[in-house]
Chains A and B, each alone.
Chain A
C-alpha cells in the first residue's frame, strides 16, 4: 500500500474525519473514547472545532442542526454505554427527518463485549431501528473503510444518521492508515436518475390540469431543488404548498405560495389540495399530519409523486405517477420537457379560474389572531421577530405550539433557514440545533423559538453557548403550560388540563444570569419590540422570556384523523 501512515485506531479515525472534510465535532468524552480525545488535543487541535456539549442528546441535535443549516454531514463523538444511549433521541430525530449525521460511539474492548462490562451497551442493537445503518468496528483493519462507508451512506440517497461503534482496543491498536478514495457498496445503490417515460406522463398531466397544486416536502431542500421548484412553479403558474419540513424550499413570500398544509396548515392550502385535480408531490411522504384522513386527501386529484426513497411511494396513499429519483434532477428534466412543449403557453387562460378561487380562499380565511388584545399574543412575538430580523435569521424551534406559530408566522424565503423536528417531534431539539447552526455560521442571527416546557429539556446547553461564545438567541413563548397538549385537552378532553400546567418553572431571566447570559423579560405588549431589539444587538447569548397569553391556541386546526377540510378556524 502506498503512502500508508502508521498510527493508532484513534488517530486513524481523526485522519479519516479530516479526509471527509469535517470541520466541527460535537461530543462528550468518556473512558472508552479517551484515546480519540487525547489524539484530538495533541495532534488535531487546529483541524477540528470541537464543541463540548453538556448532554450527549444535545450533541446529536447540534450536529443535526449543523447538517440542516449547511447541507454537510454533522459529526458526533461520545463514549460507550450511557454516552451512546443518550444519543438515541437525537438519532431518531435525524432519522425521521432524513438528516445526515454520523455518530461515533466508544465501546468496551472487544474481549469484554457481551460481558456486561462497565459502561457497556449494545448500542448497535439499540440504534438499529433509528439509524439508516450502523456498524461495530470489530478490527482496526476495517476502520478506514467503515468511516468512508458511514459518510457515504449518511449523505447519499435519502440521507440519514449512521452510527459507528468503536471498541477501545480497536482505537488503541496500531495500523497502517490508508483512506479509500472511492466507495462502492454492492448492496446499496440508491436510484437518483428518474424514469424518463414517467416524467413525460407527469408533464402531460401538468399541461392538461386545470387545478394543479405542488406539495413540496423536505426532500426539495435535501436535494437542493429549490431553484428548480421555483422555476417550474413560475413557468407553469403552479401554486405551491409546503410541509413543515419543506418550509424554505419555496419562498414563503412568493405570490404562488399557499403556505403550509395539514393539521395546522393555512385554510387556502388545505382547500386547494382538497379541490385540486392534480397534485405534484416532491420530496414529501404523505405524513398523517399532512393528509389527515387519507381517504379524503386530495380526493379529486391525480397524484404525481417524486421521491428518492421507493418506500415512501404508495406507502400511505395511492399514486398515479410514481417517480423514484433525485428531486433536483427530476424537476429539471420536467422543466426541459415542458419548455419544449407549446401547450404550456396556454396555461394562463386554463388556470385563471383556479387562481381566482385560490384568492377567494385566501381572503376568506387568513391566518389571524387578536391584534387588539392587551396581553402579548405569541403570534405577535413571531411577527415581530420576522420583521426585526427582516426574515433573515436562521430559526430553530422546539416542539408544540411554538413550532407551529413559527411555521405559520415566520416566512422562510430560503432553504436551510428553518430547523425543526418534523417527524419525531422532539422537544428539546431547538436549542442544541441552534448551537449547531451557529457553529456553522458564527455571524448569522440564530434564534430558537421555544416554549417554556421544551426549553427545559436541554437548558443545560446554556453552558455550551457561554463556553464557545455562541450568540444564540432564545425566544421563550412562556405560557406556563405544555401548550399544545393543553390545547388538545381544551378541545377534546373537556378542559381537563391533566398535568400540563407547568407554572412552577425557573425565573428564566435569573437563569440566564446564572450562566452569565443576558436575560430579558416582556410582560407587556409594548415591551416586545424593545426586548427583541436589545437581544438582537447583544453580542452574546440571550434568553427572551415573553409572558404570553396563557390559553392562546394554534389555528386552523384539523382534529387528528379528520379530513383536512374539517378545520377548526376560531
Chain B
C-alpha cells in the first residue's frame, strides 16, 4: 500500500550533495513530493526533509539507497515515530476592498499573517501542516489566488517523554 513518508536526512554541507540525493531519486524512479534543505547548527552539515510516497518495500529501498550515498551521515524515517511537521505558504490573493474583511477573517482563523498589501490584493503567510494549508487554499480559491509559493515540509521528531 502506498504511504506518505517524511524522511529526515543529515548530509555533509558540501557542493553537489543535493544533486547526489536528487539524482538518486530520479535515476531510480523514486518520487519526491517535497524537499527542504538548509544548514544545521553545525555549519558543516545540512538537514534535508524529504516527503515521498511508496510501498513499504520501496521506502525501505529509498532509505537504504540514501544511506549508501557517501555524503549522507544519517537517515531517519520520521513516519515510524511521532513527529511534528510544518510547511509555509506565501499566498497572493485577489482582494478588492469590498471583500478584504472576509479574507482577513479567514486568514485569522488559520493564524496567517498579512505580509504585503496591494491596492486590490493581499499577500498572506501561513504555516502549518499540509492539510491546514490546503484548507486555507480551498477557502481562498473562490477569491482568486494570483500566486502561490510553498516551501515543502520541514519536520522534527517529538521530544521523548521522560
Report whether B71 and A187 are in contact in the complex, using a CB–CB cutoff of 8 Å: yes
Residue interface bits A482-517, CB-to-B below 8 A is 1, else 0 = 000000000000000000000000000000000000
Give A204-232 interface residues, CB cut-off 8 Å to B.
none
Report whether B70 and A125 are in contact in the complex, using a CB–CB cutoff of 8 Å: no
Q: How far is the CA of A188 from the CA of B72 in the complex (A)?
A: 8
Closest to B72 in A: A187
Cβ-defined partner of A185 (8 Å) among B15, B67, B70: B70
Inter-chain CB contacts under 8 Å: number: 36
Residues from chain B with a CB closer than 8 A to the CB of A311 are 61, 64-65, 68
Report whether B23 and A188 are in contact in the complex, using a CB–CB cutoff of 8 Å: no
Knowing A125-B19, A128-B16, A128-B20, say if A187 contacts B61 (CB, 8 Å).
no
Residues from chain A with a CB closer than 8 A to the CB of B27 are 129
Residues from chain B with a CB closer than 8 A to the CB of A188 are 70
Give, as a whole number of angstroms, the nearest-CB distance from B149 to chain A.
Answer: 28
Knowing A311-B64, A314-B61, say if A132 contacts B70 (CB, 8 Å).
yes
User: Is there a chain A Cβ closer than 8 Å to B138's Cβ?
Assistant: no
Residues from chain A with a CB closer than 8 A to the CB of B19 are 125, 128
Residue interface bits A309-343, CB-to-B below 8 A is 1, else 0 = 11100110000000000000000000000000000
Report whether A133 and B64 are in contact in the complex, using a CB–CB cutoff of 8 Å: no
Report whether A310 and B64 are in contact in the complex, using a CB–CB cutoff of 8 Å: yes
Knowing A129-B27, A311-B64, say if A187 contacts B70 (CB, 8 Å).
yes
Residue interface bits A337-354, CB-to-B below 8 A is 1, else 0 = 000000000000000000
Report whether B57 and A314 are in contact in the complex, using a CB–CB cutoff of 8 Å: yes
**For the side of the interface on A, what is the size category?**
10 to 19
Residues from chain A with a CB closer than 8 A to the CB of B70 are 132-133, 153, 185, 187-188
Report whether A187 and B73 are in contact in the complex, using a CB–CB cutoff of 8 Å: yes
User: Is there a chain B Cβ closer than 8 Å to A124's Cβ?
Assistant: yes
User: Is there a chain A Cβ closer than 8 Å to B60's Cβ?
Assistant: yes
Q: How far is the CA of A482 from the CA of B20 in the complex (A)?
A: 37
Closest to A132 in B: B70
Report whether B57 and A129 are in contact in the complex, using a CB–CB cutoff of 8 Å: no
Give, as a whole number of angstroms, the nearest-CB distance from B27 to chain A.
Answer: 5
User: Is there a chain B Cβ closer than 8 Å to A186's Cβ?
Assistant: yes
Q: How far is the CA of A561 from the CA of B61 in the complex (A)?
A: 22
Closest to A186 in B: B73
Q: How far is the CA of A310 from the CA of B70 in the complex (A)?
A: 14
Report whether A310 and B67 are in contact in the complex, using a CB–CB cutoff of 8 Å: yes
Q: How far is the CA of A188 from the CA of B73 in the complex (A)?
A: 8
Report whether B61 and A315 are in contact in the complex, using a CB–CB cutoff of 8 Å: yes
Closest to B26 in A: A129
Give, as a whole number of angstroms, the nearest-CB distance from A297 to chain B.
Answer: 16
Q: How far is the CA of A132 from the CA of B12 in the complex (A)?
A: 17
A interface vs B, CB < 8 Å? 124-125, 128-129, 132-133, 136, 153, 185-188, 309-311, 314-315
List 7 extra interface pairs beyond A124-B16, A187-B70, CB under 8 A. A128-B16, A129-B23, A129-B27, A185-B70, A187-B12, A310-B64, A311-B64
B interface vs A, CB < 8 Å? 11-12, 15-16, 19-20, 23-24, 27, 57, 60-61, 64-65, 67-68, 70-73
Can you list 17 A-B pairs with a CB-CB distance of less than 8 A?
A124-B16, A128-B16, A128-B20, A133-B70, A136-B15, A186-B73, A187-B12, A188-B70, A309-B68, A310-B64, A310-B67, A311-B61, A311-B64, A311-B65, A314-B57, A314-B60, A315-B61
